[in-house]
Chains A and B, each alone.
Chain A
Amino acid sequence: MLSALRDKVGQVLLPGDTFVCQPEDTLSLSASARKDTAVCGPGLRRSGDRVTVCVSGLLRHKAPNVFWIQAHGKRYVPAKGECVIGIVTAKSGDVFKVDVGASELASLSYLSFEGATKRNRPNVQVGDLVYAQFLVANKDMEPELVCIDGAGRANGMGVFGAGGLMVKVSLGLVRRLLAPGSELMADLSGLFPSEMVLGLNGRVWVKSSSLQQTLIITNLLQSCEHLSNEQRRALFLKGQTGGAVTGSRLGLPCVHNCGIFMQKITEYFVLCIGNYGSKIGVLIASFEISI
């Protein structure tokens, strides 16, 4: 079966495709004992002696024997150990409820921060961004987040986000950015000096030295997903040099909170910046990038 799996690496598989144990996979009694196991990752399910594909995508392989299906997706499903960006939505007793973009709100205890004790509570408000990892994440239980690692250190996790912009991208794009030796990441970091936090739930937070640069980085990030390497480099070059943000239509005074990217309408990237009091709807500004 390993050979059947290996043959299909790099091919597109659909739900329902099956890999069965071939007769030649059986071990002979005289052969030395060897472990011929395949580790099935996301998208592959084992039922009895067959491995079935349950998501459509490309079959990927990592030596020596790990196989998984790489699928395009936008909806995040929590998995243990993954680091995500969450938005604190409520404070109930000693636990914060955090929205991670999944089907349930995750819980984050106030003691799961570095140096937090019952007397020394962390300064977390509703609406804050937190970078945390899943301690418990399975289909049967409520997901739990922590902002410390096994040794009790923060290790980059915790509350963050003053002055930056968080946008939602597809899950595949974040995985590409986090892959070691990613060219996309190298190109992005060469644009402007900036700080980025990448959550595996498809959320990316960017902060650069000015608002325009932040917006340029986020807009380029969202548009470069389906471009080839050359097209992307050409676009980034234009964004860095020639592309100048031609100014806001509505003359906003300043940005208070993180803007949330609303929608891309052809060349205009409509941005929602905060809520202003009791006004119906949100104040929007549109920035036109001239490329």
Chain B
Amino acid sequence: MEVCSSTDISLREFGCEQNLLSRPDGSASFVQGDTSVLVGMYGPAEVKVSKEIYDRATLEVLIQPKVGLPSVRERSQEQCVRETCEASLLSFLHPRSSLTLILQVVHDDGSLLSCLLNAACMALMDAGLPMSCLFCGVTCAINSDGQIITDPTAAQEKECRAILTFAIDSTDHKVMMSSTQGSFSVHELQQCIAVCQNASEKIFEFYRDSVQRRYSKTL
């Protein structure tokens, strides 16, 4: 897929920290530029009989916004994160258990959904849950000139006519989840997917680096 030469596959600076909370079984914090998310992961734990699934783990995702109570927007973000996590977790290894993922938005400066996805993936890795592949979230925006901007800030998102977020998996670099708003053509969609797949390589390298750093002190 030919990518337009004017596209800019530059991502903001990432930062991540694992195992920073003492109570949850897994925790992580992911920072993309100024957007920052903190995640706590509990599981596999006891599940209420009404919610248990006989052959898989029950995954619950809760997103707390920075200000106010969770609303419909958070519910739709939760659904995106939950579908992605369920696709990559080997949940059949923990039937009749519950996995709870609680994400707290610390600051939102654009590309929030992709930051939530990245933080969720790091927390799942930190908790040691079995996964078939890793996933990462990449957001790109199409501005009025038709230029594709990856990892837009909030100011850039306001000016754009379309914002697309994709979750990409680490083994085949295929799209696991997509969430889009705005209007764009089919050709632009395919270009955005290609751009995001390229950008996901950087994020997976970053995952590998940060996990290596974490285990570098193991004796």
Contacts and interface: CB of A to CB of B under 8 A. Distances in A.
Contact of A103 (B47, B169, B219): B47
Interface in B35-58: 43-47
B125 A15 contact: yes
| Interface of chain A, main secondary structure | loop
Interface stretch (A19-27, A71-79, A145-153, A188-196): A71-79
A140 B56 CA distance: 10
By CB atoms of chain B within 10 A, which of A56, A73, A104, A172 has the most?
Answer: A56
Chain A contact-residue range equals 20 to 34
Given A58-B215, A70-B218, A16 B171 contact: yes
Contacts of B43: 75, 103
B132 A15 contact: yes
Interface in A186-238: 226, 228-229
Contact of B215 (A45, A57, A139): A57
Contacts, number: 95
Nearest to A71: B128
B133 interface: yes
Interface stretch (B61-69, B101-109, B205-213): B205-213
A16 B170 contact: yes
Interface stretch (B88-96, B156-164, B174-182): B88-96
B131 interface: yes
B144 to A, nearest CB: 38
B127 interface: yes
| Interface of chain B, main secondary structure | loop
A75 B25 CA distance: 6
A286 interface: no
A55 B19 CA distance: 15
B200 interface: no
A263 B88 CA distance: 33
Nearest to B54: A140
B165 interface: no
A84 to B, nearest CB: 16
Interface in B1-51: 19, 22-23, 25-26, 43-47
B114 interface: no
Interface in A72-120: 72-75, 77, 102-105
Given A14-B125, A52-B132, A103 B97 contact: yes
B127 A54 contact: no
A56 B125 contact: yes
Given A14-B170, A139-B95, A73 B125 contact: no
10 contacts: A14-B134, A45-B90, A55-B131, A57-B215, A58-B215, A73-B128, A75-B45, A103-B43, A226-B217, A229-B219
Interface of A: 12, 14-16, 18, 43, 45, 52, 54-58, 70-75, 77, 102-105, 139-140, 172, 176, 226, 228-229, 263-264
Interface of B: 19, 22-23, 25-26, 43-47, 88, 90, 93-98, 125-134, 169-171, 207-208, 211-212, 214-215, 217-219
Which 6 residue pairs are nearest across A and B when measured between Cβ atoms?
A73-B128, A103-B97, A16-B133, A15-B131, A54-B130, A75-B25
